[in-house]
């Protein structure tokens, strides 16, 4: 009876076979087993979209699919598929070291069973188990590396920049981003009237939260803009809404403040459309609408309404 071979190439010798070579074949088998248990191979899959079959060599070492760790290498210019025969049952450490933004799929040679795929941007590692669970449609199962979900780590830390890979970071209502002592916080919440709200807080007494333009550039603006015909609102608190214009050392400032709530005013003031000139003052040139919601158009004027009265008084008392 002739020898048979396992799916990974180990020779199964029949009783009484291979007289005089049994020891050599046994040693080769042991080397194959050693290769399967801890062997490493770099497999180039360079090129355009293609399917690469990992080779098996019955009764000899070096079979590509009979290594514990397989590293895929080369520059790929299309999506890749790497296959193993339907009867292979083992687990692999896979590493995607290819260059090129294309996927690398690891699967059985045929069938509709599960497979594993490195995404176009995933140049990482994976542990997969080839189950040989079905003669026609076996599955490739993925074994999680470390935690399977970030929620399992209550104090996760980054070792570098966080790349969201075109996805969003979602924060539940009334939760926040904070510094290590949780004093300085940015809180994202939805108010009772379903208005989206971001609160910037600071637990240090007397220190107001600050949003500033920083970086390597100098003399740059900080831009804040509404959408469409919306306004930028300065909210009131104990006092009416106000804007403070500081000196260059931020030690003094003047304040522009809105009317008190009791005044019930909602009027609009529009600045002049003409160029500013010396010796002029701001005057309400026209009003559209009326009352507390009127819209006043300012203009630059050099002829106060009191000029005629001043001349008349000069004549009388002259």
pLDDT per position as a tens digit, 51-65: 999 999 999 999 999
How does residue 152 score in pLDDT terms, banded at 50, 70 and 90? low
- Residue 148 — very low, low, confident or very high, per pLDDT cuts 50/70/90? low
The conformation of residue 167, written as its DSSP 8-state character, comes to -
Residue 160 to residues 100, 122, 157, 163, Cα–Cα distance (Å)? 22, 16, 9, 9
Label residue 298 by pLDDT band (50, 70, 90): very high
For 233-262, what is the mean pLDDT? 94
Local confidence band at 210 (pLDDT 50, 70, 90 cut-offs): confident
Tens-place pLDDT, residues 157-187: 888 888 888 887 777 666 677 776 666 667 6
Q: pTM of the entire structure? A: 0.52
**Closest to 270 measured CA to CA, from 290, 243, 296, 294:** 296
Q: CA 136, 142, 143 angle in degrees (round to 5)? A: 135
Query: Is residue 76 scored above 80 in pLDDT?
Result: yes
For 89-140, the pLDDT digits (tens) are 999 999 999 999 999 999 999 999 999 999 999 999 999 999 999 999 999 9
User: Which helix (DSSP H) or strand (DSSP E) does residue 308 occupy?
Assistant: helix 307-317
Cβ(22)–Cβ(12) below 8 Å: no
C-beta separation of 8 from 31 below 8 A? no
The structure tokens 């699967």 sit at 107
Domain ranges in the chain?
4-143, 171-205, 269-317
H/E stretch holding 313 reads helix 307-317
């Amino acid at each position: 009876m002739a020898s048979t071979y396992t799916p990974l190439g180990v020779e199964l010798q029949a009783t009484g076979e291979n007289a005089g070579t049994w020891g050599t074949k046994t040693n080769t088998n042991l080397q194959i087993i050693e290769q399967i248990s801890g062997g490493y191979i770099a497999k180039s899959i360079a090129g355009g979209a293609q399917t690469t079959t990992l080779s098996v060599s019955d009764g000899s070492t070096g079979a590509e699919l009979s290594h514990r760790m397989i590293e895929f290498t080369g520059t790929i210019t299309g999506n890749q598929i790497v296959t193993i025969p339907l009867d292979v049952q083992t687990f692999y450490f896979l590493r995607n070291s290819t260059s090129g933004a294309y996927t690398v799929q690891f699967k059985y040679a045929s069938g509709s069973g599960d497979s594993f795929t490195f995404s176009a941007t995933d140049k990482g590692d994976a542990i997969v188990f080839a189950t040989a669970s079905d003669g026609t449609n076996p599955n490739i199962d993925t074994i999680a590396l470390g935690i399977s979900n970030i929620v399992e780590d209550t104090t996760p830390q980054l070792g570098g920049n966080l790349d969201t890979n075109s996805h969003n970071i979602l924060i539940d209502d009334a939760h926040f981003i904070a510094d290590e002592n949780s004093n300085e916080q940015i809180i994202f919440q939805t108010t009772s009237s379903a208005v989206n709200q971001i609160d910037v807080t600071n637990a240090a007494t007397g220190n107001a939260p600050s949003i500033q333009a920083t970086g390597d550039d100098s003399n740059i603006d900080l831009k804040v803009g509404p959408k469409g015909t919306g306004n930028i609102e300065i909210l009131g608190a104990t006092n009416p809404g106000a804007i403070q214009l500081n000196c260059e050392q931020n030690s003094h400032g003047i304040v522009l403040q809105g009317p008190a709530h009791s005044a019930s005013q909602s009027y609009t003031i529009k600045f002049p459309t003409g160029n500013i000139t010396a010796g002029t003052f701001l005057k309400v040139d026209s009003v559209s609408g009326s009352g507390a919601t009127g819209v006043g158009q300012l203009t630059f004027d050099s002829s106060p309404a009191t000029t005629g009265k001043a001349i008349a008084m000069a004549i009388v008392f002259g």
